[in-house]
Amino acid sequence: MAGEDNKKHYRLLSCNEASKHHFERAANKVKIDRQHRSWLKIPFREIAVHLPVVMDDGSLKIFEGYRVQHNNARGPHKGGIRYHPEVSIDHVRGLASWMTWKTALLNLPLGGAKGGVKCDAKNMSEGELERLTRKYTQAISVDIGPYQDVPAPDVNTDEKVMAWMMDEYSKLRGYNPAVVTGKPVDLGGSPGRKDATGRGVASIVEHWANSNNYKMAESTAAIQGFGNVGYYTAHHLNEMGCKIVAVSDTGAAVVNEDGFDVEKLFRHKQETGSVAGCPGSTTLESSEIFSVRCDFLIPAALENAITKDNLADIKAAVIFEAANGPTCPLVEPELAEKGITIVPDILTNSGGVVVSYFEWVQNLQQFSWTAEQVDLELQRKMKNAYQRVVDKASEKKVSLRIAAYMLAIEKVLSAARTRGAY
Ligand code: GLU
């Protein structure tokens, strides 16, 4: 790849550095005193645990697990649990702070947190994952709870993992489905939670398209990552008439200028383990997804996907950050120079936590909403947040990212100030 040589000459920012980078720039535009400025950057509580798990071959393996509770000025901590080999305390710290800004921006009465276990979940059996999840839940059980901290799915964790967490927590502290969100619907989950992040991404794309003279039916999208978020984003965009011309996963990128049948591509991935070789498409290297000609580029995998290595190749008009932190902050000025808009993660991918909030509310109310009601409320929240970010950006003449952070910081700051040294 072009840029392979450059790799050695610069260092990518970690999630924590990236989050602070955006925070500082937005805080410069907000009336904030020095004390609160320092306070809002640092986490309230950091938990590190070591988890002994019996593996299928009888060996004992010790896993590192974390939960970082960043800020709860506006309500209980909220955020996902990630199972990934790259998980570290610093990584989780950054991801936790993003949840604080996301919940504040969407005006949810919640704070921010994130958890993770350093593991290669894709190569673990279901039994190993269940034992790991139960151990992790035991280890953090005193610090989570419906009014304390409410975990949810994230990378490589799904509704099954949330069901194990809920069950383990309930065994230890009494039945309480509101302790986690993203559960199976039969166990107190919400209709619409599974596809909520993708649904939210698609609705942000639609709002942006409407206000920028793009017709969904004439637009094209390339999606990096075909997990839960990538797949449901593709599915909902396709329903809106947008052509999905390229999709990638860790193994390959596939391109079809006529637009993919998203369900067929999904089945192909399920059957073969990769999008590679999907009939009717051209298979490329995974990293070549960024050079595909399209209107909307949607990174839906991990952080630091868009870097100096692929910056020059990008041909899209706009980047919708479906993942958390997919754009290296250091390349943002160059993207702006190229006229490429970034619609930031804390807005674009917030549909997941919005429906998590609805799930939590339903659990506390002990009353289920219909799928239609969930979707209506989700759409309302996404539209409202989109409009506030766009208005703030034009009023303050700042990027959508800075506008989103400014709105979020103002919310958290106001709650923290009112509560005092709570
Ligand atoms: N992991 C998702 C995120 O990063 C969802 C978090 C939640 O639902 O609490 O936004």
Rounded Cα distance between 267 and 265, Å, is 5
Residue 360 covered by a domain: no
> Residue 303: CB within 6 Å of ligand 1?
no
The helix (run of H) or strand (run of E) holding residue 405 is: helix 400-419
Residue 356 covered by a domain: no
Indicate if 275 and 226 belong to the same structural domain: yes
Rounded Cα distance between 153 and 148, Å, is 17
Residue 358 covered by a domain: no
Q: Look at residue 421 in the predicted model and tell me its pLDDT.
A: 84
> Residue 200: CB within 6 Å of ligand 1?
no
Q: Would strands 282-284 and 253-255 be described as parallel, antiparallel, or unpaired? A: antiparallel
Q: How far, in whole angstroms, is CA 61 from its chain's centroid?
A: 29
- The 10s digit of each residue's pLDDT in 65-122 is 999 999 999 999 999 999 999 999 999 999 999 999 999 999 999 999 999 999 999 9
* Average pLDDT value for residue range 343-365: 98
Picking from 176, 207, 231, the residue at the C-terminal end of a domain is: 176
CA 38–ligand 1 middle distance (angstroms): 25
Residue 237 covered by a domain: yes
Residue 21 covered by a domain: no
> Residue 152: CB within 6 Å of ligand 1?
yes
Which residues does residue 69 pair with via DSSP β-bridges, in sequence order? Answer: 45, 113
Q: Look at residue 422 in the predicted model and tell me its pLDDT.
A: 82
Query: In 256-302, which ranges are E strands?
Result: 282-284, 296-299
Rounded Cα distance between 266 and 264, Å, is 5
Indicate if 128 and 239 belong to the same structural domain: no
Indicate if 335 and 206 belong to the same structural domain: yes
The pair of structure tokens assigned to 259 is 């637009």
> Does the structure show a pLDDT above 80 at 7?
no
Indicate if 48 and 79 belong to the same structural domain: yes
Residue 301 covered by a domain: yes
Question: For a substitution probing ligand 1, which of 179, 197, 361 has the most ligand atoms within 8 Å of its CB?
Answer: 197
Picking from 129, 144, 176, the residue at the C-terminal end of a domain is: 176
CATH number of 134's domain: 3.40.50.10860
Q: What confidence category does residue 3 fall into, taking pLDDT thresholds of 50, 70 and 90? A: very low
> Does the structure show a pLDDT above 60 at 2?
no
* Average pLDDT value for residue range 285-300: 98
Residue 363 covered by a domain: no
Domain limits for position 327: 196-348
Rounded Cα distance between 103 and 109, Å, is 7
Rounded Cα distance between 142 and 71, Å, is 17
Indicate if 208 and 339 belong to the same structural domain: yes
CA 422–ligand 1 middle distance (angstroms): 25
CA 321–ligand 1 middle distance (angstroms): 14
Catalytic residue among 78, 114, 381, 411: 114
Q: Is the CA virtual torsion 230, 104, 192, 141 positive or negative? A: positive
Instruction: Please give the share of the chain, as a percent, with pLDDT higher than 70.
Output: 98
- The 10s digit of each residue's pLDDT in 11-67 is 899 999 999 999 999 999 999 999 999 999 999 999 999 999 999 999 999 999 999
Q: According to DSSP H, which parts of 193-227 are helical?
A: 196-211
Which CB contacts under 8 angstroms, 24+ apart, belong to 411-417? 411/74, 411/104, 411/105, 411/107, 412/40, 412/71, 412/73, 412/74, 412/100, 412/101, 412/104, 413/30, 413/32, 413/36, 413/40, 415/73, 415/74, 416/36, 416/39, 416/40, 416/71, 416/73, 417/36
Which residues does residue 246 pair with via DSSP β-bridges, in sequence order? Answer: 222, 255
Listed residue (196, 191, 184, 198) closest to 226, CA to CA: 198
Indicate if 163 and 254 belong to the same structural domain: no
CATH number of 242's domain: 3.40.50.720
* Average pLDDT value for residue range 166-180: 97
Indicate if 172 and 201 belong to the same structural domain: no
Global pTM reads 0.96
> Residue 79: CB within 6 Å of ligand 1?
yes
Q: Look at residue 282 in the predicted model and tell me its pLDDT.
A: 98
- The 10s digit of each residue's pLDDT in 139-152 is 999 999 999 999 99
Indicate if 202 and 339 belong to the same structural domain: yes
Indicate if 211 and 344 belong to the same structural domain: yes
> Residue 190: CB within 6 Å of ligand 1?
no
Indicate if 121 and 165 belong to the same structural domain: yes
Q: What confidence category does residue 9 fall into, taking pLDDT thresholds of 50, 70 and 90? A: low
> Residue 356: CB within 6 Å of ligand 1?
yes
Average pLDDT, the chain: 96
Kindly report the three-state secondary structure assignment for every residue of 81-142. Answer: EEECCCCCHHHHHHHHHHHHHHHHHCCCCCCEEEEEECCCHHHCCHHHHHHHHHHHHHHHHH
Q: Look at residue 10 in the predicted model and tell me its pLDDT.
A: 76
Residue 275 covered by a domain: yes
- The 10s digit of each residue's pLDDT in 227-285 is 999 999 999 999 999 999 999 999 999 999 999 999 999 999 999 999 999 999 999 99
Picking from 348, 373, 394, the residue at the C-terminal end of a domain is: 348
The protein residue whose alpha carbon is closest to atom 8 in ligand 1 is 353
Catalytic residue check, 114? yes
Indicate if 200 and 155 belong to the same structural domain: no
Indicate if 263 and 161 belong to the same structural domain: no
Domain count, the chain: 2
* Average pLDDT value for residue range 329-350: 97
